[in-house]
Structure 1
């Protein structure tokens, strides 16, 4: 099991967890020594989740480690549970490996798509702090619809290699970032429009307001739905001119 943990750490550091083979054995089959696949999977449910078990302390420490109680995967959801980055059903060796257990909001944990892609893994909150927290790759554009709407999309930095760009696209898809960010943006956009038109503000005033909001938000992260929204609105000439 120690060797398995080292194997996970080495691949995660290289962004290559998608190369880990899935366990296709039945739950009753032995997979390591005299331990079955089912027993490995059940370690988490039987030893880490119950509050009367000593390993529960590890679970609680991991869940409380998320800064501000925010889900590190999406950046805005409240941490609700622990998510297996590689699902324990397909990768039972990692069922209780702390490196594979990530604080998660309910949406990221229960609504994610299949993650063990053959081409690239999504970003790992423990191993990919740089791409997740230090470089912007999620952007938005303002759509001249009725009512006004926003579309989120991925645009990888030019210096990223093909693997990093692919991982960003997978992360965006796997966690349904576009639709979830869009829901948050719709409410904020409605409030902003009301603020800007009552009474009507000048374009430069609107841009200054958005720029201040943007700078404040960037102090905390770089890929939030607010950053992409404020940036898109600030740079949209017809929006700042209230031509809608």
Structure 2
């Protein structure tokens, strides 16, 4: 969510969402109170008429994930279901929702909640019981290749490799990128809007981001800056108040610096470039969701940033001669230039750059570093 990322091109996922669209249309746009045996041929015909003859029997063959909630949904009155359908169609336009600030499915009347719960159960199952497990066969999609988690992960990595320069870090925290071994990508697909609270977005491409395991499992989990009752995000009320991995990355709107605190100790500080209420709310949502401020500050306190800068300095000092204040300052300025060029290309460079910039300007810190680096060079 810190780094801007390219939107992946994943035709199989787009097609699966098209099939889900037809699935929900069958359940929400009509009322049927008939025996299961009479509904099945109508269900198969519905998909066949849409051009996906294999999809009907395939969906129907999933009793827990699809058939059971569908059969509970069908008898409900259309008057209760139509608002759910309209809200689903509106919310699938995620860019549009970021424009007006609200999800339509979260503004439905009480009379529509039963239909929303059943429809959401089916869509969420399309991820947890289908996409995240065996996937979708190519013949069901009417495509040359099947769909599974690896399909989405590969599409994401391909999109980031085609950036200029390529993104080689976790987009959320500037940490390590997804690892690849034995032809498989070992990373989590994070649901930015938790699927438990936003089930209709469970398979939406713009809601799937491969954050690193630390981001996904340790920090973010099922946090929802808009919906959670937490003092840290008390001013986060709508989509205007948050950053988003694809639609509103944080990097253009925040700056990362190092400054001394009241105890004269250096700390990483993440702050908005424009000090207004909306920017402050977005920054708080970022802190709440991924805790990048605490994590980057921890890297500084635990001296995990130091080796990177030391390496850059030593690499630039090939003569093994005395260092001195001027040489150290010049080395730090070169380190700043190098780190700036490699933002997003090596893990940890965002916080390291902030630290190097601070060192290049803080005379007291330079004195401390001078003694350490002279010892390192002499050693």
Instruction: Tell me the TM-score normalized by structure 2.
Output: 0.51
SS in 1 for 2:210: strand
Is 1:187 the counterpart of 2:304? The answer is: yes
> Could you tell me which residue of structure 2 aligns to residue 42 of structure 1?
125
RMSD: 3.7
Q: Deviations over 1:198-223 (max 9, x none)?
A: 98732232222222121222224498
Q: CA deviation at 1:30?
A: 2.8
After superposition, the Cα gap between the structure-2 partners of 1:82 and 1:225, relative to the gap in structure 1 and judged at 3 Å, is same
Q: CA deviation at 1:135?
A: 5.2
Matched residues in 1 for 2:130 and 2:168: separation?
A: 24
After superposition, the Cα gap between the structure-2 partners of 1:22 and 1:226, relative to the gap in structure 1 and judged at 3 Å, is farther
Q: Match for 2:280 among 165, 177, 185? A: 165
Is 1:55 the counterpart of 2:147? The answer is: yes
Matched residues in 1 for 2:97 and 2:257: separation?
A: 29
SS in 2 for 1:241: helix
> Could you tell me which residue of structure 2 aligns to residue 155 of structure 1?
271
Is 1:207 the counterpart of 2:329? The answer is: yes
Matched residues in 2 for 1:77 and 1:38: separation?
A: 34
Is 1:12 the counterpart of 2:98? The answer is: yes
Instruction: Tell me the TM-score normalized by structure 1.
Output: 0.76
SS in 1 for 2:368: coil
> Could you tell me which residue of structure 1 aligns to residue 175 of structure 2?
76
Matched residues in 2 for 1:232 and 1:138: separation?
A: 11
Matched residues in 1 for 2:339 and 2:365: separation?
A: 21
Are the equivalent residues in 2 in contact too, given 1:62–1:101 (CA < 8 A)? no
Q: CA deviation at 1:95?
A: 0.5
Matched residues in 2 for 1:83 and 1:173: separation?
A: 16
Q: Deviations over 1:28-83 (max 9, x none)?
A: 94317xx4432222221223223542332235413553444421111223232211
Are the equivalent residues in 2 in contact too, given 1:71–1:104 (CA < 8 A)? yes
After superposition, the Cα gap between the structure-2 partners of 1:211 and 1:40, relative to the gap in structure 1 and judged at 3 Å, is same
After superposition, the Cα gap between the structure-2 partners of 1:193 and 1:3, relative to the gap in structure 1 and judged at 3 Å, is closer
Q: CA deviation at 1:184?
A: 3.3
SS in 2 for 1:211: helix
Matched residues in 1 for 2:362 and 2:126: separation?
A: 53
Is there any run of 5+ residues in structure 1 with no aligned partner, and where? none
Is there any run of 5+ residues in structure 2 with no aligned partner, and where? 1-87, 137-145, 161-165, 179-186, 228-234, 315-319, 372-379
Q: CA deviation at 1:138?
A: 1.9
Q: CA deviation at 1:240?
A: 0.8
